[in-house]
Structure 1
């Protein structure tokens, strides 16, 4: 593991038991994250992005199973006990969840939720932790921070709760921050503020960031590299600019083709990806996007395409990758 490589995930599987069978939420994902790097993870809802993040953190439900390796600073997190993981959470890896209203304790004041981790992991006194909590609220742009420290979460707006959640995640100076759909249920203006805040604190602190979203616009321009997931597997990964400007996987191209643009003709139909995500308990063989792909052949259903390097920092798992003269507008609509 190189000195600048912070996280290395290899052949990660995360299966969850359900009444309908075993949900193959994450099914063989491999990726790397370097120190100080921002990685975007995109895909439709249900593609396995959030479960992958929870599998990395060790926050899986009781009826679940994880295999593979998750090396963080060379240490395999999958082999750690719950007690050992408590020393990792907050201090080394922190997570900003989708819904701060559910993640923050509704009956505990903001100050205590900010200071608990600092006193445990950093050994700060009550007054030192309170002073740092105030500084954190200022850093994340919470107005009137002295008053907000004494507030309960329900007394704050959605945007303020998310800023508090980010402050909680930053409290113990983690090396990796995982932001799982951090703009869910926020209006457009607040979404942009929160996303810009995440990018700013990540850059200022030199920490690594994994930004998870179903919205391509969220990760575009705010990440160094982007990974595209579909039905529990990785379809494409590479430098963000290259992935967005020259997508090679058919699914990535279809996602971009279905995204409205400012130049879209008024009242004209939008491009759509036909069909829906396959059942996670009974996924199709081979490429899981094949049933929805107009370029699919019999070979696509025979075996899962391997992730093949096609550039210095670009890899794709597709037997019929998009080339420079093709765009999914011509191919979707099978």
Structure 2
């Protein structure tokens, strides 16, 4: 028996009006996220990752429009009214934003910011909510949680504020956690701690997670599946292991080639991806990566390829995908 994915995004479009024209930030994205699994969404800055997450959450800016379907537990979130949406956000779907310094209220103590969602959605009293807040701070690795509850956000480091943001997101025990570039502006050591914390909590609680990043290394060991975005569209989708070990889209292959690895030859230059993202108000008519692709075909300039299967649960939107390496011959003396 086939179980329905927890989250199904179908042909999602998110357009934003600007003085220069309409930005087609997300232009026909479809993806699934199963119960208890982690999905990585990667791509260059400006590829539409964060806007896609905000479109799912209903957090679009003014002068914007979204269409398609966002089906969560069988309900289309785009069709819900404001009151029904408020029953979903925080309680069933929560989000960790890029910058905790701007996401936390600077004039409200941590305790109130942690407990108000629990009191509203879980219907518990202030004493029980405070006890749960202390437990949450301990769970996310905040030392001396009693004192931290009395702090204002500015009295804490960036890494500590991000841990508080994660605790707030977990407060109502959501089924889905969306982490949008959760390590922005943190130093490398703290980045790893935060990312490992998210993966540990996701596994221990059995919840689903969407981890959004421009850094392929962030999602490599912390997700089960990965979706590669480019200029508002999906370029490649598959298991994280398969996409990283055998990338088929020319963009994914180029991204991996431009990423430093521990076995990179000393002083050897990294591969570069020539050019830049296309103008989102006037994207190319064909493959959006074609102007930067060294392997494009003539038809790539006019045909915008759809995702097609290139293996078991591996989809690629490319007319000239990377060929698989020939298997090594066994045998011999």
Taking structure 1 as the reference length, the TM-score comes to 0.96
Secondary structure at 2:132 match in 1: helix
* Residue-pair matches, total: 326
2:329 corresponding residue in structure 1: none
Distance in 2, Cα, partners of 1:67 & 1:242: 31
Distance in 2, Cα, partners of 1:299 & 1:256: 25
Q: How does 1:180-329 map to 2 (within 5 A)?
A: 180-325=180-325
Secondary structure at 2:44 match in 1: coil
Distance in 2, Cα, partners of 1:65 & 1:181: 23
Q: Which runs of 5+ in 1 are unaligned?
A: 327-334
Secondary structure at 1:108 match in 2: coil
2:27 corresponding residue in structure 1: 27
Q: Which runs of 5+ in 2 are unaligned?
A: 327-333
1:61 corresponding residue in structure 2: 61
Q: How does 1:109-128 map to 2 (within 5 A)?
A: 109-128=109-128
Distance in 2, Cα, partners of 1:124 & 1:140: 22
Secondary structure at 1:178 match in 2: strand
Q: How does 1:128-147 map to 2 (within 5 A)?
A: 128-147=128-147
**Which has the higher mean CA deviation after the structures are superposed, 132-141 or 74-83?**
74-83
2:98 is equivalent to residue 98 of structure 1: yes
The CA deviation string for residues 76-120 of structure 1, in whole angstroms up to 9 with x for no partner, is 011112222111110010000000000000000000000000000
Moved over 3 A (4+): 1-4
Distance in 2, Cα, partners of 1:305 & 1:187: 39
Distance in 1, Cα, partners of 2:116 & 2:4: 30
The CA deviation string for residues 260-296 of structure 1, in whole angstroms up to 9 with x for no partner, is 1223233332211000000100101111000000110
Taking structure 2 as the reference length, the TM-score comes to 0.96
Secondary structure at 1:86 match in 2: helix
